[in-house]
Amino acid sequence: MKVLIKNATIIDSESSYHGTTQDIRIKDGLIIEIGQKLASLKGETTIEKEDLHISQGWFDTSVSMGQPGYEERETIDNGLNVAARSGFTGVALNPNTYPIIDTSSDITFVKKMAEGHATSLYPIGALTRNSASVDLAELYDMQQSGAVAFGDYQTPIKNPNLLKIALQYTQGFNGLVLSFPQEQQIAGKGMVNEGVMSTRVGLKGIPTIAESLQIARDLHILEYAGGKLHIPTVSTKEGVALIRAAKSKKLNVTCSVAIHNLCLTDDLIEDFDTRYKVLPPLRNKEHVEALVAAVKDGTIDTVTSDHNPLDVERKNVEFDNAMYGAIAQEATFKALLTIVSEKRAITLLTAGRNLFIGQNNPVKEQVKADLTLFSTKGSQTFTKQDILSSSQNAIFLNKKVKGEVYGIIANNQVVLN
């Protein structure tokens, strides 16, 4: 592969070229030259785009694909193509498959299925066997096979001692533990945010204390046991405050927010549209404003799409019977750009790589080309034509978004929209 990228504005705080407009020459997957007015060489493919920006490749910390077991929702092959065209050069795969990814052979299988793609797949192993929150899964063996973290997707750890043991055990191999922030007995049979809107439409609510209580418990355990804890998809003002306080105490905790919890409010459930049935639920304006403040001040480390393709049999049903989940990867960057600056957006979309795999690929010479190409200009409405996934449960359908994703260069491949 020989590529010359012309007139690209580099957004990368780890690069000496940050904020400048440069040409970038890539050969065999390596950045070999950065400069201005570079001449095209024989055999090179030239990439020129309007308002072209480049950053380190984006990393999505929460992606579901279905395969194995739920291929009708999404296959790994198409899921990685969706990720590439959405600007992500790396994704962390949730273990909510059938069977659940809780053994080293399961990790090996999904990694094998992902070979040959521009976007790299990094499996999250289930923390407990069958994600049942009873016994720890074979964490070390999964880590040796390529698991980058351990967590039960959208399933709280009921037994606090299990979390304590997991945090202590994973210190032996620097493992990352995920704990979904919901106290299930408080949440009960709730399915939307508890508040004015849940009362108006007559749906059972999940109170915000269900999240903050679980986070408070987990942070106390982390302080006692040590280890590395990641709290995925925080959604409440109180949860953010607890994490901010824990970070000020130097606890080794990180967190993410789902892009829809950052942009949308629970007013949308008024029409019982199941695309808006997600977990954690969409909250009200007060919590959304707290989340936006937290991504701006660094309390929230990374933004995820929490991309969860579901087929029509799971979503086009009564609200009570619909499964939780939405697809958002195609709109993640464009929605995020409506809230924060381009520099902050890129920081939030690239931070997950270092958190989950301890690796960055700055835009520098003699560094692996792992790049996302995008534009920050223009606004448009996200339509059905923008959906790339096999499933159609797009939470940002008909919403205003900003910017454009041009594609990625990664794993010695070029994927352009």
Active site residues: 306
Distances (CA, A) of 129 to 106, 148, 171: 12, 17, 20
Cβ neighbors of 315 (< 8 A, separation 6 or more) are 274, 275, 322, 323, 325, 391, 393
Query: Residue 224, exposed/middle/buried by CB under 10 A (0-12, 13-18, 19+)?
Result: exposed
